[in-house]
């Protein structure tokens, strides 16, 4: 740009400064689309500052009206309290367990989220993990790449997907997408949810334990909250049984991870496919060493196409907020 053009741009920015948005830790949508986002907003990058977080927040306390956040980035009571001008938190996640919603409600801070934008992608990964765990795809890959095939090593038989009784925990938009994908494979779908759904004819169970007793695979699709934390406990895992598989695309803490590791090690359940963990990015070393466990780094929501749609949603929500219009994907905090 020539000298005059540069001056013109600076002049316009002084007249119409971009709204400031705080980013505590960069979500993937920011990492991949920072240029696009930065055309509209001025991002205050807390993770990039040499200042301790509290000091950074205090420094920008009065200019921060909005935060851009994501599923693994806590927005705590302390953060909210240090930002008296805060009016909006936009999270790029569908899950909201990382945000202190009670404090948002109390302070009148609005929250916007991803809604069901990536339910289909998450369901794809759930099915992928299930087929992998049943048919030993990752284990087969290791068998070939480690030279065991060439050396005539043993390779265990897989199990059939068709006809399997699959219990979905949480029949929200992700759970429904999982059911939709598994029906054509010939799976029998059962579910457990806060309420029985009139839109499906799948058998309903009111407790996870009853569901586990009646199925061979549990797929965790529910949100993490006080009711679902460690809802998959020892009793549920034992009810699932020695041939049972557990797939988790919800949140790590829905399962009592220590208990699951013990059950996997002792053959109390047959295997697992996990995209989420209790203490991410740390994965218990026992899980890494097991051949009947398939691991994925909390990437169920990340596809190129969905990140493109997400960046538009984030921009739309921020623009709506800064121009006093209704948010595109608000969280209903009074529910
Ligand atoms: O895990 C990701 C999300 O909650 O969207």
* Ligand 1 mutation pick, 95, 119, 278, max ligand atoms within 8 A of CB: 95
- What is the CA(239)–ligand 1 centre distance, in A? 28
Residues 266 and 154 in one domain: yes
Residue at 332 is within a domain = no
Residues 167 and 310 in one domain: no
Q: pTM (2 decimals)? A: 0.92
DSSP labels for 65-108?
-EEEE-TTS-B-HHHHHT-TT--EEEES-S--TTB-HHHHHHHT
Residues 148 and 272 in one domain: yes
Ligand 1 atom closest to Cα of residue 114: 5
192 Cβ contact list (under 8 Å, min separation 6)? 167, 168, 169, 170, 171, 204, 205, 206, 207, 208, 210, 211
Residue at 265 is within a domain = yes
Residues 56 and 87 in one domain: yes
Number of domains in the chain: 2
Q: Is the CB of 248 under 6 A from ligand 1?
A: no
Residues 29 and 100 in one domain: yes
How would you write the pLDDT of the chain (335 residues) with one tens digit per residue? 444 445 555 665 666 789 999 999 999 999 999 999 999 999 999 999 999 999 999 999 999 999 999 988 999 999 999 999 999 999 999 999 999 999 999 999 999 999 999 999 999 999 999 999 999 999 999 999 999 999 887 888 999 999 999 999 999 999 999 999 999 999 999 999 999 999 999 999 999 999 999 999 999 999 999 999 999 999 999 999 999 999 999 999 999 999 999 999 999 999 999 999 999 999 999 999 999 999 999 999 889 999 999 999 999 999 999 999 999 999 998 75
Residues 87 and 104 in one domain: yes
Residues 289 and 179 in one domain: yes
Residues 278 and 166 in one domain: yes
Q: Is 70 a residue of the active site?
A: no
Residues 122 and 134 in one domain: yes
Sign of CA dihedral 298, 301, 303, 308: negative
Residues 237 and 256 in one domain: yes
Q: Residue 104's domain is classified under what CATH number?
A: 3.40.50.720
Q: Is the CB of 91 under 6 A from ligand 1?
A: no
Among 234, 258, 232, 235, residue whose Cα is nearest residue 247 = 232
Q: Is 280 a residue of the active site?
A: yes
Residue at 330 is within a domain = no
Q: Is 11 a residue of the active site?
A: no
- What is the CA(126)–ligand 1 centre distance, in A? 13
272-300 burial, b at 16+ Cβ within 10 Å, e below that, comes to bbbbbbbeeeebbeebeebebbbebebeb
Residue at 233 is within a domain = yes
- What is the CA(260)–ligand 1 centre distance, in A? 22
Residues 129 and 31 in one domain: no
Residue at 131 is within a domain = yes
Residue at 1 is within a domain = no
Residue at 328 is within a domain = no
Residues 319 and 223 in one domain: no
Task: Kindly state the DSSP code that residue 19 receives in the 8-state scheme.
Answer: P
CA distance 126 to 274: 9
Q: What number is the ipTM of this complex?
A: 0.93
100 close to 305: Cβ distance less than 8 angstroms: no
Ligand 1 atom 4, closest CA: 95
> In terms of residue numbers, what domain contains 211?
118-295
């Amino acid at each position: 740009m020539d000298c005059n053009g540069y001056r013109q741009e600076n002049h316009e920015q002084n007249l119409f400064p971009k709204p400031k948005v705080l980013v505590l830790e960069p979500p993937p949508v920011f990492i991949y689309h920072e240029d696009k986002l930065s055309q509209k907003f001025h991002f205050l990058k807390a993770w990039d500052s040499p200042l301790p977080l509290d000091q950074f927040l205090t420094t920008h306390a009065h200019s921060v009206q909005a935060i851009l956040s994501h599923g693994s980035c806590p927005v705590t009571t302390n953060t909210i309290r240090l930002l008296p001008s805060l009016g909006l938190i936009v999270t790029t996640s569908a899950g909201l367990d990382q945000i202190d919603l009670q404090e948002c409600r109390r302070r009148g801070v609005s929250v916007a989220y991803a809604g069901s934008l990536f339910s289909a992608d998450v369901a794809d990964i759930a099915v992928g993990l299930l087929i992998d765990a049943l048919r030993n795809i990752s284990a087969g890959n290791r068998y070939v790449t480690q030279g065991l095939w060439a050396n005539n090593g043993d390779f265990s038989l897989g199990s059939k997907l068709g006809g399997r009784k699959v219990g979905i925990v949480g029949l929200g938009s992700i759970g429904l997408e999982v059911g939709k994908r598994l029906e054509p494979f010939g799976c029998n779908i059962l579910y457990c949810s806060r309420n029985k759904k009139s839109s499906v004819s799948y058998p309903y169970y009111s407790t996870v334990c009853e569901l586990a007793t009646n199925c061979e695979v549990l797929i965790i699709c529910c949100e993490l909250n006080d009711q679902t934390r460690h809802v998959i406990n020892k009793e549920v895992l034992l009810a699932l049984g020695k041939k049972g598989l557990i797939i988790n695309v919800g949140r790590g803490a829905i399962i009592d991870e220590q208990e699951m590791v013990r059950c996997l090690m002792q053959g109390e359940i047959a295997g697992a496919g996990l995209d989420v963990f209790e203490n991410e990015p740390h994965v218990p070393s026992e899980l890494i060493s097991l051949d009947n466990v398939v691991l994925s780094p909390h990437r169920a929501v990340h596809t190129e196409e969905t990140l493109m749609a997400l960046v538009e949603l984030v921009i739309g929500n921020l623009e709506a907020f800064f121009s006093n219009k209704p948010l595109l994907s608000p969280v209903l905090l009074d529910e």
